[in-house]
Amino acid sequence: MLARKIVLAVLGLLWLVPVYLLLANASKLPAEFGTYGLWEPGNLGALFTNMADAWDRGRLSQGIVSTAVYAIVSPIIAVIIGAAAGFAIVALRLRNGFFWFVVIFASTIFPLQMILMPLFVGYAQTGLFNTRVGMILVYTVIATPFSAFVMRNFFTGIAHQVFEAAVMDGASTWRIFWRIYLPMSTSALIAIFILQATFIWNDLLLGLTLTQSSEIRPVITALSALQSTYGGSAMSTVLAGGLLVSLPTVILFLATQRAFTRGLSLGQF
C-alpha cells in the first residue's frame, strides 16, 4: 500500500511539472522572459498583465464565445443522436443492427487529416466555410460515432424486459426513449458530453481549416495566431493566453466531476 502511494505521488508530481512550467513562464513580463531561467517563477502581477495583453491582442473574447457555442451545441446534438442510435440497435433490435453500428463507428478509422481537403472544398462550395453552422455541423458529425459507441454499450446493460414492460403498459417508442432510457443513462450522457466538449474546445486543426474571421474561429485558433508571424506576441503572453483559455475546461471538470466519475465507473470507456 505504501509503495502504491509513493508511485501515485511521483506520477502526480510528474504530471504537475508542465503545469508549473506554464505558470512560471506565463508570469514573466516579455522583457524579463529571456533574463530569467526556465524554472524560475515570475510574479502574479506579470501574469495578469500578460493575460490582459493576450485577451486584447488575440481577441480571445470572440473566440471564447464562438467556441462555447460549438462546445455546448454540438455535443448535445451528438449525444442525442448517439443515444437514439444505440437505443434503436439495442432496445428496438434493429435489423442488421450490428452492421449499422459498424457503419457509424467506421468513420473514426480514418485520420481527420485525410478528409481536410475534400471537407474544405465542400464547405467552400456549399457556403458553410467560415460559418458557425458549418462548425457546429462538423463537430457534431465527429462527436456522434463515439457517442453511439458508448450509448450502445451502455444500453446493452439494461435488461430488455424494461422495454417490453413499457410496451405492455402502452408507452410509445419515443416515450420509452425519452422518459425511461435517457434518464437511466444520465451519467453516461454527461461523461460523453464532457469528453466531446473538451475535444471541441481544444481543437485547432478544424478551426484553422474551416474558419477565417475572428468572429467565427475557435479560441485555440485565435490563440495560435498570437505566436504567428503576424501576431508577433512574446512567448510569455502566449503562455498566459493558453492558461486563460484552459480555465473553462478546468471549471467544467470541477463542476461535474461526480457525474463524470460515475459515468467512467460504468466501465463502458
The model's pTM is: 0.86
Question: Does 36 map to a domain?
Answer: no
- In the structure grid, which three cell numbers stand for residue 155, read together? 444500453
- In the structure grid, which three cell numbers stand for residue 151, read together? 450509448
Q: What pLDDT digit, counting tens, does each position of 57-67 carry?
A: 767 888 899 99
- Cα distance between residue 143 and residue 186, in whole Å: 17
Residue 255 carries which side chain, given as an amino acid letter?
A
Question: Does 64 map to a domain?
Answer: yes
239 alpha carbon, distance to own chain's centre: 20
Instruction: Give the range of the structural domain holding residue 165, as residue numbers without chain letter.
Output: 44-264
Most confident of 19-33, 36-50, 134-148: 134-148
- Cα distance between residue 202 and residue 241, in whole Å: 13
Q: What pLDDT does 177 receive?
A: 92
Question: Does 23 map to a domain?
Answer: no
What number of CA atoms fall less than 13 Å from residue 252's CA on the CB side? 19
- Pick from 114, 100, 112, 101: nearest CA to 138: 112
Residue 263: is its pLDDT beyond 80?
A: no
Question: Does 222 map to a domain?
Answer: yes
Mean pLDDT of the chain: 85
- Pick from 196, 222, 207: nearest CA to 123: 207
Most confident of 42-46, 93-97, 168-172: 168-172
Q: CATH code at 125?
A: 1.10.3720.10
Domains in the chain, number: 1
247 alpha carbon, distance to own chain's centre: 13
Question: Does 65 map to a domain?
Answer: yes
Question: Does 5 map to a domain?
Answer: no
Question: Does 269 map to a domain?
Answer: no
Question: Does 17 map to a domain?
Answer: no
